[in-house]
């Protein structure tokens, strides 16, 4: 009986050691599909699958992104159950289930090797697209395909594709303002058919086919992409056509924002509908800028993210939109001189402000006060250009194109690298680090808490802050009678050298009433 138990044990170990394990699916450009639960980031990943009938102990096995270096990262504490899956995060964290390498989205290799460095499964791959996984058509199958709905940790049972359409549809007319109805044709130069929509939704395989010319006689957002059987749909191209037969369209620059109508108007997930709490989520949009300088076509036409911003203004009918450019949307930055009176030409973010407390009044109070203040000072401001906004072709009123006061603001205006400065917002609820930490700020506050009538104490504070800059900020606040200063102060300084400087923000209540006693406020508060 004892010999039988030993024999059965050896048979089990032999089967476990040589059970077939596959690299079953991977994603080399994960920007938004799944977050690593340990580090809460969008890491690339590799899925392993055990096709055998018994579990496999993978302790001591190796994963690599270079087949000439098979022992690059060792697997520990991992046993794959029969027909089971495991996710390995390729994020260079070098910890349990986290490799010491990243996957390249351009071209690379992946290999799984036994402790004796004999190969278990290897592959080479080419250019990978964001948020599309590459995997076996079915678990353990020899055919590799693409998945728009990846299945990390579960069976590969979603729709698979043999390729991705890379070409764009050809529009016969650029977007913009037209003074009579127009006829639009959309074609595919490199084969396939063109699928299109006229309401802001992204076209899919079931959308209308652009065969006959399209008559556009009212404001319309046209979105189109190329479809080929068995392939992932091509990129979405978006153009907004504004039909102004009575020549009434505002002469300001025009910003057109397009997305699935539900992203704006759905009772639950729409950012323009009434909510009891702030809709603090981002929606995918296409954004076009049409300048009022006579040029044909858009100054830029890009995909981005948008979310409702502002402390209380999200409750107003006309929303403030924060626009963000990121890799997951197709481009990580806007390269365009958005604010003409500034040298800055690169933006990762910007805002479409609807004036907040000034909504329904001048609609430009904040921008006007900041612009006037910086003419004879060196204060930082958030730039200002008035514009009108259309959402899916619907007029949404006057807004202001503004720089967003965030880390990218300092990078773009002062040329500092991210992570080399502290940026602190002072609010009614306390201090908040937009970027950096509180170390320098805590030290600065400890100095300001002392008796500043003492020259030594005053000099210590003066070494930490730009007195002239702060004086200009206070004068601007007092002169304009801005009554909402309590939650609208932002300061910044380089980590190693330099002094604290302030950034003008939110003067929607400036020049708002003649009874604001701002000198008393500053003296007493």
Q: What is the mean pLDDT of residues 268-279?
A: 84
What pLDDT shows up at residue 2? Answer: 39
**SS3 state of residue 8:** helix
The dotted CATH code for 165-248 is: 2.60.40
Instruction: For residue range 128-169, list pLDDT tens digits in order.
Output: 999 999 999 999 999 999 999 999 999 999 999 999 999 999
Instruction: For residue range 297-309, list pLDDT tens digits in order.
Output: 999 999 999 999 8
Task: Considering only residues 373 and 454, tell me which one the structure prediction assigns the higher pLDDT.
Answer: 454
Fold of 2-161: Immunoglobulin-like (2.60.40)
- Torsion over CA of 202, 204, 206 and 210, rounded to 10 degrees? 70
Whether 496 has a pLDDT exceeding 90, the answer reads no
Angstrom distance (rounded) from CA 309 to CA 281: 10
Helices of type H across 415-499: 439-448, 455-462, 467-480
Radius of gyration over alpha carbons of the chain, in Å? 29
Domains in the chain: boundaries: 2-161, 165-248, 250-404, 417-524
Angstrom distance (rounded) from CA 490 to CA 432: 9
Whether 243 has a pLDDT exceeding 50, the answer reads yes
What pLDDT shows up at residue 487? Answer: 64
Query: What is the value of pTM for the model shown?
Result: 0.85
Share of residues in the chain with pLDDT > 70 (%): 92
What pLDDT shows up at residue 358? Answer: 66
Tell me whether domains 2-161 and 165-248 share a fold: yes
Site of tokens 């909510």:
275
pLDDT-derived band at 13 (thresholds 50, 70, 90) equals very low
Task: Considering only residues 503 and 355, tell me which one the structure prediction assigns the higher pLDDT.
Answer: 503
The pair of structure tokens assigned to 94 is 């070098």
Whether 1 has a pLDDT exceeding 50, the answer reads no
pLDDT-derived band at 5 (thresholds 50, 70, 90) equals very low
Q: Which string of DSSP letters, residue by residue, matches 315-342? A: GSSS-EEEEE--GGGT-S-EES--STTS
Instruction: For residue range 72-116, list pLDDT tens digits in order.
Output: 999 999 999 999 999 999 999 999 999 999 999 998 999 999 999
**First vs last C-alpha separation in the chain:** 89
pLDDT-derived band at 357 (thresholds 50, 70, 90) equals low
């Amino acid at each position: 009986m004892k010999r039988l138990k030993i024999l059965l044990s050896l048979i089990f170990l032999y089967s476990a050691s040589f059970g077939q394990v596959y690299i079953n699916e991977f994603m080399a450009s994960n920007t938004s599909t799944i977050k690593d639960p340990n580090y809460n980031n969008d890491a690339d990943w590799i899925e392993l699958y055990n096709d055998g009938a018994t579990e496999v102990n993978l302790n001591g096995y190796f994963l690599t992104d270079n087949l000439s270096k098979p022992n690059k990262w060792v697997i520990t504490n991992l046993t794959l159950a029969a027909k089971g899956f495991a996710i390995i995060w390729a994020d260079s964290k070098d910890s349990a289930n986290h490799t010491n390498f990243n996957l390249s989205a351009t071209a690379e290799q992946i290999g799984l090797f036994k402790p004796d460095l004999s190969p278990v499964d290897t592959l080479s791959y080419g250019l990978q697209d964001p948020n599309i996984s590459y995997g076996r058509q079915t678990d353990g199958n020899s055919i590799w395909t693409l998945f728009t709905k990846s299945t990390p940790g579960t069976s590969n049972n979603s729709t698979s594709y043999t390729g991705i359409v890379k070409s764009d549809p050809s529009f016969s007319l650029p977007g913009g303002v037209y003074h009579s109805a127009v006829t639009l044709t959309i074609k595919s130069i490199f084969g396939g058919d063109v699928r299109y929509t006229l309401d802001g939704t992204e076209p899919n395989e079931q959308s209308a086919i652009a065969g006959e010319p399209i008559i556009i006689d009212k404001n319309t957002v046209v979105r189109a992409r190329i479809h080929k059987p068995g392939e992932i749909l091509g990129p979405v191209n978006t153009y907004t056509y504004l039909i102004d037969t009575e020549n009434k369209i505002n002469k300001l620059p025009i910003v057109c924002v397009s997305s699935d109508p539900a992203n704006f108007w759905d009772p639950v997930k729409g950012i323009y509908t009434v909510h009891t709490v702030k809709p603090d989520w981002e929606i995918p949009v296409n954004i076009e800028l049409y300048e009022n300088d006579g040029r044909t076509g858009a100054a830029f036409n890009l995909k981005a993210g948008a979310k409702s911003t502002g402390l209380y203004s999200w409750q107003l009918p006309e929303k403030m939109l924060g626009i963000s450019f990121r890799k997951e949307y197709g481009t990580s930055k806007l390269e365009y001189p958005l604010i003409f009176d500034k040298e800055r030409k690169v933006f990762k973010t910007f805002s479409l402000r609807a004036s907040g407390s000034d909504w329904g009044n001048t609609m430009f109070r904040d921008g006007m006060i900041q612009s006037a203040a910086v003419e004879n000072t060196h204060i930082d401001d958030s730039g200002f250009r008035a514009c009108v906004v259309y959402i899916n072709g619907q007029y949404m009123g006057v807004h202001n194109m503004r720089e967003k006061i965030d880390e990218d603001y300092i990078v773009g205006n002062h040329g500092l690298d991210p992570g080399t400065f502290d940026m602190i917002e002072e609010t009614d609820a306390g201090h908040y680090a937009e970027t950096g930490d509180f170390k320098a700020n805590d030290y600065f506050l400890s100095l300001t808490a002392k008796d500043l009538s003492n020259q030594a104490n005053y000099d210590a504070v003066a070494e930490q802050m730009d007195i002239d800059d702060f004086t200009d900020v206070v004068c601007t606040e007092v002169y304009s009678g801005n009554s909402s200063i309590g939650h609208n102060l932002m300061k910044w300084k380089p980590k190693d050298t330099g002094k604290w400087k302030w950034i003008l923000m939110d003067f929607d209540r400036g020049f708002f009433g003649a009874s604001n006693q701002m000198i008393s406020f500053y003296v007493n508060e």
